[in-house]
Structure 1
Amino acid sequence: MADIENTDPKYVVDTLIAEDIDEYLSQHEHKTMLRFITCGSVDDGKSTLIGRLLYDSKMIFEDQLDALANDSKKVGTQGQDIDFALLVDGLAAEREQGITIDVAYRFFNTEKRKFIVADCPGHEQYTRNMVTGASSADLAVILIDARKGVLVQTRRHSYLCHLIGIKNIVLAVNKMDLVDYSQEVFDKIVADYSEFAASIGIESFTAMPISGFKGDNITSLSENTPWYKGDAYAGVPLVEHLENVEVLSSVDADKPFRMPVQWVNRPNLDFRGFSGQIATGSVKPGEKIRVLPSGKTSTVSKIVTFDGDLDEAVAGQSVTICFEDEIDCSRGSVISVADSPPQTADQFESTFVWLADEAMVPGRAYWLKLGTQMVSATVAEPKYEVNVNTMEKLAAKTLELNAIGVAELTTDKQIVFEPYAENRQLGGFILIDKMTNATVAAGMINFSLRRSQNVHWQAVDIGRRQHSALKNQVPALLWFTGLSGSGKSTIANMVEKKLHRMNRHTFLLDGDNVRHGLNKDLGFTEADRIENIRRVGEVSKLMTDAGLIVITAFISPFQADREMVRSMMPEGEFFEVFIDTPLKVAEARDVKGLYKKAREGKLKNFTGIDSPYEAPRSPEIRIDTTTMSPEEAADLIVDTLLGDA
């Protein structure tokens, strides 16, 4: 207490109140934070439990209580003033159906700790939302309805929690009041869950009999379960367990220093720092660091924050780090301790949780976001899919919504990573559809493939620039796309003849021709079409490296695959040529008789009939064959190419 010389009563009271406030704020400022989720099957009582935690921790205002009391009457709560689930189920659709759809985050605190809890949906169709909530959690409370026992969604959520790396698991057997607080029921559920948990690698969990509705064993031990105090059980209420469990940040602090760079802080010419949140470990001024993937090293000159410079920064803090040397470092780079850096690679074995309604397409290019790194990536055909009920490894050609599987992943450039089991921030990623920007999968890197570490680029003295200079031309890739019968091959052939007469060095890759050799092993499924385009793209890149002007004529129906090839090429050297011919016109030509076969059902997966064609959104060149002759089209393409060159 401060030395109070002024004896005025009001001054004394105000001083004491101010001291109490300062002490209160100081206590709360230094509390640790626990992030946890509640999950399980539908109607296991997740939202009710969180509502009870908010209510018991005095985190609800009077006006909220009044509003909730009125809402509870509308939904017909069973003799209770408040339906605690309504504190969390904020969406109208959730209240109407009595279920959770989206992830709801809530904050509360006790005398010992601060909490952020995510209420995750139980329905299978919203599994993607559950994965979102679990991705940053230190602990998972898996609820089980005491009347129903272990269900399919209980297993799925448990497996996902284990997969995502949540070590602290509480098995909350809820609604014990509806089974007369039976120890026999509780013990059977725990035994069933123990058998399943062991099969998926969960080494330990804490089981508790609770009632979110009645408040049993939530903040204090219940007299209704006197048997829970025995040596065979945890014997503590849920809140006490949450207050004392170890949090993830304390574990991360003991690991080597890692910080993904979020942005380069350059407010003026006299300051240059690199900002981000420290993923693991700690760092001090004067310590040697290494920047990846470049591998350049330097020394930390200072650690800057809004509140001033730090003598040390630890995992979980957001800081700006300055170097003594001017070395290459940008968004997506990872700053690490110099003598123990993370790995870099471009091929991995990864575990996926597929989150999109559309099935995974092996070979298709997606955006991969890992921390602050963003690269293009393709996924191979799955090695297997996991049956969450039996833990069997099933053969699979693709992954459907909510499926969990293992497959190889290839990125277009090396990324900085660590296995997910060691570092969630540098081992966990999401896949994003390039066309819709929708998140289609969450993934975890298991390890890099050995060939990724053993195969390196060989430096050569004669490269793309020298080859181009010898041929006195700028290399380019003219990528013709359009429906079958649109005139791609005819126009492409004319373009090559015109360029040849102008002494340009060219090579024409025709869709039919490459299927006699390079791609003779591929069919016409969506996955095979993607691989067909990938191979042609790689060959085209090699040919342009040799200084050639490459002309390709492929239906290439998918925008994502054409963009994949574009990403292989240097800026300005890829020309998408859209041969825009209406389906009726192309089908009327039908010089190969393919449309007729497709209409008769004799030719499956034919573009325009039973397989879609995604027209280019902004091609470099568009040819309308209903208003332009092949000769005129060829002239326009050559003029555009050489004019830009």
Structure 2
Amino acid sequence: MAKEKFERTKPHVNIGTIGHVDHGKTTLTAAITKVLSETEGCKADFTAFENIDKAPEERERGITISVSHVEYETAARHYAHVDCPGHADYVKNMISGAAQMDGAILVIAATDGPMAQTREHILLARQVGVPYIVVFLNKCDMVDDDELIDLVEMETRELLSEYDFPGDDIPVIRGSALGALEGDAKWMDAIRELMKAVDEYIPTPARNNDLPFLMAVEDVMTISGRGTVATGRVERGELKLNEPVEIVGIKDTQNTVVTGIEMFRKSMDFCEAGDNVGLLLRGIKREDIERGQVLCKPGSVTPHTKFTGEIYVLTKEEG
């Protein structure tokens, strides 16, 4: 059966949910897909909590990373949304770039307020360069006193300011992800309000489309009968179907041709900076390519054996 075509009619933005364990990140992700699937002008396939939470694990050099990608559209934009089940997964994903975000939704339970991992995720967002944050105060249906929610909001804004985010200006939306999933109109409206804030507060990033094509390889898989596919986020430039690329880094440089481009299991004629894609590579075996290499326009990247870098060592608790 022919693959459905990816229609690029709206600007594409990468976002994700961050925040303390059990504050409702995955429930919110599911609620967004439900509400947008029922909202005129928007588009989403409702993805249940358990389907987001059962993310396929990638095992790479002894490190296990779980990450779930869902896609949806508001009236204004197309989004790729990343959600990670475990705390250690966030740390690894955000540092490795598997969850590169143009903006993030920080989820804080109004019942608890900011917790240890809330602070860690804000610090991580600052360190890896997540430029914009929108806050969703979750579980507001479980707090009777609005003044308590006011206090949580104030504490959250102060915490964001502490890490050089504009705490006073960041949109803070109050809601209940579970209430929205259960179809409560009030809480479904809160999700619409959240996505309006995401649309308006997180700008569509300027993409480096005029630079030579470059994509870091995040994962490699074999598709039977078709060949080897490398997945990753296009860092810069554009790539059209049947164009040549080089595989650079770790091993000797290899040349190949891209015979298929897919995003969210839909086929594309070209990809551009910011897209999370799978590229089908002609004549390349599974063992010829690995995570950490890059695909690039031939002749545009020179491999180096010496460089200056910044190392973040995971603590035992972080995995």
Please, what TM-score do these two structures have when normalized by structure 1?
0.32
* AA of the residue aligned to 1:194: R
Say if 1:178 and 1:31 are closer, same or farther in 2 by CA, change over 3 A. same
1:253 is aligned to 208
The residue number in structure 1 matching 2:91 is 131
1:228-239 paired onto structure 2 within 5 Å: 237-239=193-195
Aligned residues, how many?
250
Taking the TM superposition and a 5 Å limit, the aligned residue runs for 1:351-500 are 351-354=311-314, 399-402=315-318
Cα offset, 1:237, TM superposition: 0.3
Measure, in 2, the Cα distance between the counterparts of 1:245 and 1:192: 21
Residues 183-194 of structure 1 mapped to structure 2, 5 A cutoff: 184-194=147-157
Cα distance in 2 for partners of 1:196, 1:258 equals: 38
2:138 corresponds to 1:178: no
- Residue segments in structure 1 that go unaligned for 5+ positions in a row: 1-24, 69-83, 92-100, 223-235, 263-274, 285-290, 294-302, 321-329, 355-398, 403-439, 441-645
Residue 165 of structure 2 is matched in structure 1 by 202
What amino acid sits opposite 2:173 in the alignment?
Answer: M
Deviation at 1:241, TM superposition (A): 2.9
Q: How much has 1:118 moved relative to structure 2? A: 3.1
**Structure 1 position 279, deviation (Å):** 1.8
> Shift of the alpha carbon at 1:154?
0.8
SS of equivalent residue, structure 2 residue 70: strand
**1:351-386 alpha-carbon deviations (Å, 9 max, x no partner):** 4151xxxxxxxxxxxxxxxxxxxxxxxxxxxxxxxx
Please give the alpha-carbon distance, in whole angstroms, between the structure 2 residues aligned to 1:105 and 1:257. Answer: 26
Structure 1 counterpart of 2:197: 241
Cross-structure match for 1:350: 310
Structure 2 Cα separation of the partners of residues 276 and 190 of structure 1: 36
Q: Is 1:279 aligned with 2:235?
A: yes
Distance (Å, rounded) in 2 between the aligned partners of 1:103 and 1:202: 25
Shift of 1:150: 1.1
**Displacement of 1:146 after TM fit?**
0.8
Matches of 2:93 and 2:176 in 1, distance apart? 23
Counterpart selection for 1:162 from 116, 123, 126? 126
Residues 1:333 and 1:102: Cα distance change in structure 2 (over 3 Å): closer
Instruction: Give the structure 1 partner of residue 79 of structure 2.
Output: 115
Where 2:114 maps in the other structure, the secondary structure is: coil
Aligned to 1:48: 27
* More contact order relative to length (CA 8 Å, sep ≥ 6): 2
Q: 1:104 Cα shift? A: 3.8
Structure 1 consecutive aligned stretches of length 4 or more whose deviation exceeds 6 Å: 317-320, 340-343
Q: Percent identity?
A: 20
The one-letter code matched in structure 2 to 1:54 is T
Counterpart Cα distance in 2 of 1:347 and 1:146: 45
| Secondary structure of 1:220 counterpart | helix
How does 1:628-639 map onto structure 2 within 5 Å? none
Aligned to 2:177: 212
**1-structure distance, mates of 2:188, 2:16:** 18
For residues 30-109 of structure 1, what are the structure 2 equivalents within 5 Å?
30-58=9-37, 85-86=49-50, 88-90=52-54, 103-109=67-73
Deviation of 1:44 (Å): 1.2
Higher strand share: 2
CA contact (8 A) 1:105 1:118 kept: yes
Which amino acid is the alignment partner of residue 239 of structure 1?
M
> Matched residues in 2 for 1:333 and 1:115: separation?
24
Task: Call closer, same or farther: CA 1:242–1:133 in 2, change over 3 Å.
Answer: farther
Summarize deviations over 1:110-140 as a string: whole Å, max 9, x none.
444443333333xxxx422123554233332
With normalisation by structure 2, the TM-score equals 0.58
- Partner Cα distance (2:188, 2:302) in 1: 43
Residues 108 and 152 (structure 1), Cα distance of their counterparts in 2 relative to 1, 3 Å cut: same
Amino acid at match of 1:208: I
Preserved CA contact (<8 Å) 1:259 1:336: yes
- RMSD over equivalenced CA pairs, Å: 4.8
Amino acid of the structure 2 residue aligned with 1:115: Y
Q: d(CA) in 1 for partners of 2:118 and 2:213? A: 34
Summarize the Cα distance change of 1:240–1:28 in structure 2 as closer, same or farther, 3 Å threshold: farther
User: Following TM superposition, by how much is the alpha carbon of 1:188 offset from its aligned partner in structure 2, in angstroms?
Assistant: 2.4
Residue 222 of structure 2: aligned partner? none
In structure 2, the CA distance between the partners of 1:333 and 1:152, relative to structure 1 (3 Å rule), is closer
Higher helix proportion (structure 1 or 2): 1
SS at match of 1:155: helix
Q: Distance in 1 between matches of 2:295 and 2:23?
A: 42
Listed as ranges, the matches of 1:264-343 within 5 Å are: 278-281=234-237, 314-315=272-273, 316=275, 332=293, 335=296
Q: 1:141 maps to what in 2?
A: 105
C-alpha distance 133-347 of structure 1, shift in aligned 2 (>3 A): closer
Q: Is the 8 A contact 2:134 2:197 kept in 1?
A: no
Taking a change above 3 Å as real, the CA distance of residues 34 and 133 of structure 1, as seen in their structure-2 partners, is: farther
Query: CA 1:193–1:255 in structure 2 vs 1: closer, same or farther (change >3 Å)?
Result: farther
Partner amino acid for 2:90? Answer: M
Superposed CA offset, 1:422-458 (max 9, x none): xxxxxxxxxxxxxxxxxx7xxxxxxxxxxxxxxxxxx
Whether the 8 Å CA contact 1:38–1:140 is kept in 2: the answer is yes
Shift of 1:145: 1.2
Whole-angstrom CA distance in 2 between matches of 1:120 and 1:51: 13
Change (3 A) 1:150 1:342: farther
Question: Is the contact between residue 336 and residue 342 of structure 1 (CA under 8 Å) also seen in structure 2?
Answer: no
| Conserved 8 A contact 1:37-1:133 | no
One-letter identity of the residue aligned with 2:163? I
Q: Which amino acid aligns with 1:207?
A: V
- Measure, in 1, the Cα distance between the counterparts of 2:234 and 2:17: 27
**Partner Cα separation in structure 1 for residue 187 and residue 133 of structure 2:** 16
